[in-house]
């Protein structure tokens, strides 16, 4: 269309708002569809829209002010709740510290009392050095005295029995026992001659049997007393083990720099020391954020180490953390957190378990029933199956009683596996058809490692999850028989020097205690010398001995399935 003409702003129609006609230059082209009414309508709509927008703005401003007021109120409420929460946390800390302090005091008082009853350590000088020597308390000394008294009584009775045997009347037909009427006369003769206690005077047959019966009864009574003393001695030894452990724990706690209930990472309140080993201390702690107990493992590097060694140790710990952090299984201890305190100290936060480990249980009780041992093995294998089903799979490599926690401290409860410091990741780059290279040969606990881990050659040995299967067999054997199948009384150095595991071609079972043939067969499958003949973790999980709802056949003694559970594992 053509150009619009410019209206004369100075002329205006007096009768309305219509623009007045103006003169236009001859060359201006006028072309428009707008009329005065349309322009008025547009102007009116514009004013209405403007009023609506202004009203909307006013509403938004009021809403904004209202929201700001609500935010301020919520902020104040939040600050109030934060203040309350901080007060609750502060009070919780105070109560936990008070409780921990009281428990520490009670432990020390009990320990001092048990020193007299159970024994204590004394420092003994040997030349220029000092060593700690254990001295038993009066409870053990009393048992020793009772045993000595029993031994003395037994010796006296045996002497009297020998003398009695010399006074035994002849059993020949010519020397028959005197009649009843002659016995009083003979006793009178003995009394007159003063030979009642003559050791060489023959007794009547009735007198001999009477005295022999008395001696037998006395020996039987002494044997019963000796058995009771042995039971009491075993009980006291278990209590003494706990006492010694507590003495060492208290001594380590008193020398720890974390003994005064610090709060680490503004979250974990340390309560008391659980144990110390190597370069780490484990404390029972309370997570103030999650409101739960936890086990805080504090790693302290030796300040005299070279930086390279410190870096390797820290790198190893980070690797363990990355492996352990991803694991989520009811039979594996959870790892919650990881943080550093300084350049030489860092911490890992683990799930807290109230009970002891299997190693301590076996030291206390020596062994357990087959049902209890089977339950523990079932749970271990369940955890191993999980480790081999995740991607990438994991070899624990350090399965042993010390790394199996008994949740409630008994053999008939739940277990959890811990310590993944030596575990191996079976990723595609390092794991082949014949396994993966063992790059850390020499590490681990030798009693629980299979023969392939000790093979020395140009190339590193190949390992697979069958390493853990061997460990399961050793642990099961130890639970049943109270001893390790190979190298029981040997040190790790002796095992290495004498090639004990390399020569462990076949497992030998003691006669006692008695275990089922199925249990022995299961152990043999775990402890097969050649790894090619040994079950892997998946096969072990499907083993008939571990499957539920089984009954024994009275005719063959074999375990038979009540239901077709093999389908569940195939």
122, containing H or E segment: strand 119-126
Nearest to 262 by CA among 93, 98, 89, 95: 93
The reply, when asked if residue 297 is annotated as ligand binding, is yes
Handedness of CA 451, 377, 570, 565 (dihedral sign): positive
Alpha-carbon distance 249 to 274, whole Å?
7
Q: Could you check whether the bond before residue 392 is cis, i.e. omega within 30 degrees of 0?
A: yes
Q: Can you give the C-alpha Rg of the chain in angstroms?
A: 44
Contacts with 395 (C-beta within 8 Å, 6 or more apart), sequence order: 387, 423, 424, 426, 463, 464, 465, 467, 468
In the three-class reduction of DSSP (H, G, I as helix; E, B as strand; rest coil), residue 55 is classed as helix
In the three-class reduction of DSSP (H, G, I as helix; E, B as strand; rest coil), residue 434 is classed as coil
Alpha-carbon distance 346 to 299, whole Å?
5
Distance from the Cα of residue 174 to its chain's centroid? 78
- Per the CB < 8 A criterion, the answer to whether 532 and 433 are in contact is no
DSSP track, 153-196: HHHHHHHHHHHHHHTPPP-SGGGPPPPTTHHHHHHHHHHHHT-T
In the three-class reduction of DSSP (H, G, I as helix; E, B as strand; rest coil), residue 502 is classed as coil
- Per the CB < 8 A criterion, the answer to whether 415 and 380 are in contact is yes
| Kind of pairing between the strands at 559-561 and 119-126 | unpaired
Report the phi/psi class of residue 418: left, alpha or beta, with left for phi > 0 and alpha for psi in -120 to 50: beta
Alpha-carbon distance 46 to 52, whole Å?
10
In the three-class reduction of DSSP (H, G, I as helix; E, B as strand; rest coil), residue 1 is classed as coil
Q: What are φ and ψ of residue 432, in 5° steps?
A: -115, -165
Active site residue 198: no
Strand order in the sheet with 435-437: 431-432, 435-437, 462-463
Alpha-carbon distance 424 to 439, whole Å?
10
In the three-class reduction of DSSP (H, G, I as helix; E, B as strand; rest coil), residue 558 is classed as coil
Strand order in the sheet with 292-300: 263-264, 268-277, 280-287, 292-300, 345-351, 335-342
**In the beta sheet, which residues pair with residue 132?**
123
Given the residues 114, 398, 419, 543, the one annotated as active site: 398
Helix extents (H) in 303-369: 307-325, 358-365
Report the phi/psi class of residue 119: left, alpha or beta, with left for phi > 0 and alpha for psi in -120 to 50: left
Per the annotation, binding residues for ATP are: 297
**Which residues does the annotation place in the binding site?**
297
List the catalytic residues.
Answer: 398
């Amino acid at each position: 269309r053509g150009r619009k003409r410019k209206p004369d702003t100075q002329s205006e129609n007096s009768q309305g708002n219509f623009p007045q006609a103006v003169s236009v230059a001859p060359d201006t082209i006028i072309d428009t569809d707008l009329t005065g009414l349309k322009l008025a309508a547009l102007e009116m709509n514009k004013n209405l829209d403007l009023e609506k927008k202004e009203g909307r703005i006013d509403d938004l401003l009021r809403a904004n002010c209202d929201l700001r007021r609500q935010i301020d109120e919520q902020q104040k409420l939040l600050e109030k709740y934060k203040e309350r929460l901080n007060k609750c946390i502060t009070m919780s800390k105070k109560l936990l510290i008070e409780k921990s302090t009281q428990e520490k005091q009670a432990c020390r008082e009990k320990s001092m009392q048990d020193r007299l009853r159970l024994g204590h350590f004394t420092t003994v000088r040997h030349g220029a050095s000092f060593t700690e020597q254990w001295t038993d308390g009066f409870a053990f000394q009393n048992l020793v005295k009772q045993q000595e008294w029993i031994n003395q009584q037994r010796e006296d009775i045996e002497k009297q029995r020998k003398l009695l045997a010399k006074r035994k009347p002849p059993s020949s037909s010519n020397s028959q026992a005197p009649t009843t009427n002659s016995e009083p006369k003979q006793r009178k003769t003995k009394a007159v001659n003063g030979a009642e206690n003559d050791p060489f005077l023959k007794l009547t047959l009735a007198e001999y049997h009477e005295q022999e019966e008395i001696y037998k009864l006395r020996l039987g009574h002494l044997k019963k007393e000796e058995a009771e003393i042995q039971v009491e001695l075993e009980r006291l030894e278990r209590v003494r083990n706990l006492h010694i452990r507590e003495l060492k724990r208290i001594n380590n706690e008193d020398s720890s720099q974390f003994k005064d209930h610090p709060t680490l990472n503004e979250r974990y309140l340390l309560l008391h020391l659980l144990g110390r080993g190597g370069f780490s201390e484990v404390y029972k702690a309370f997570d103030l954020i999650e409101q739960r107990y936890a086990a805080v493992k504090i790693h302290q590097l030796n300040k005299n180490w070279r930086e390279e060694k410190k870096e390797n140790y820290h790198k190893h710990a980070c690797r363990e953390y990355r492996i352990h952090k991803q694991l989520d299984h009811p039979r594996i201890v959870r790892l919650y957190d990881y943080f550093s305190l300084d350049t030489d100290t860092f911490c890992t936060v683990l799930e807290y378990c109230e009970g002891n480990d299997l190693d301590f249980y076996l030291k206390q009780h020596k062994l357990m029933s087959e049902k209890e041992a089977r339950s523990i093995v079932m749970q271990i294998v369940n955890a191993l199956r999980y480790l081999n089903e995740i991607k990438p799979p994991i070899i624990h490599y350090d399965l042993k009683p010390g790394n199996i926690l008994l949740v409630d401290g008994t053999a008939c409860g739940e277990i959890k596996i811990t310590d993944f410091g030596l575990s191996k990741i079976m990723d595609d780059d390092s794991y082949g058809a014949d396994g993966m290279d063992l790059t850390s040969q020499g590490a681990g606990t030798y009693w629980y490692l299979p023969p392939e881990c000790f093979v020395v050659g140009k190339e590193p040995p190949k390992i697979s999850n069958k390493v853990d299967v061997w460990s399961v067999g050793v642990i099961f054997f130890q639970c049943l028989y109270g001893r390790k199948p190979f190298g029981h009384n040997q040190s790790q150095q002796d095992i290495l020097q004498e090639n004990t595991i390399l020569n462990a071609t076949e497992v030998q079972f003691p006669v006692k205690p008695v275990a089922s043939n199925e249990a022995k067969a299961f152990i043999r499958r775990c402890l097969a010398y050649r790894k090619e003949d040994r079950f892997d973790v998946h096969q072990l999980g499907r083993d008939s001995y571990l499957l539920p709802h089984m009954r024994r056949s009275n005719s063959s003694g074999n375990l038979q399935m009540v239901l077709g559970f093999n389908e569940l594992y195939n």
